Amino acid sequence: MFTVERTAFMLIDVQGKLADIVQNSERMLQKQEQLIQGMFTLDIPILCMEQYPKGLGPTKEQLRQHLEGVPTYEKIEFNGMLNEGIRQAVEQLGRKQFVLAGIESHICVYQTALSLKREGYDVAVVEDAVSSRYAEDKERAMSMLRHEGVKIVGVETILYELLQRAGTAEFKQILQYVK
Query: DSSP letter string over the chain?
Result: ---GGGEEEEEE--BHHHHHHSTTHHHHHHHHHHHHHHHHHTT--EEEEEESHHHH-SBPHHHHTT-TT--EEEE--SSGGGSHHHHHHHHHHT-SEEEEEEE-IIIIIHHHHHHHHHTT-EEEEEEEEEE-SSHHHHHHHHHHHHHTT-EEE-HHHHHHHHH-SSSSHHHHHHHHHH-
Output the pLDDT for position 166.
95
Output the pLDDT for position 51.
97
Residue 18 pLDDT exceeds 90:
yes
Residue 19 pLDDT exceeds 90:
yes
Q: What is the pLDDT of residues 41-65, one digit of tens each?
A: 999 999 999 999 999 999 999 999 9
Output the pLDDT for position 155.
98
Residue 70 pLDDT exceeds 90:
yes
The mean pLDDT value for 157-177 works out to 96
Q: Mean of the per-residue pLDDT values for the chain?
A: 97
Q: What is the pLDDT of residues 106-161, one digit of tens each?
A: 999 999 999 999 999 999 999 999 999 999 999 999 999 999 999 999 999 999 99
User: Which superfamily is assigned to 4-178 in CATH?
Assistant: Isochorismatase-like (3.40.50.850)
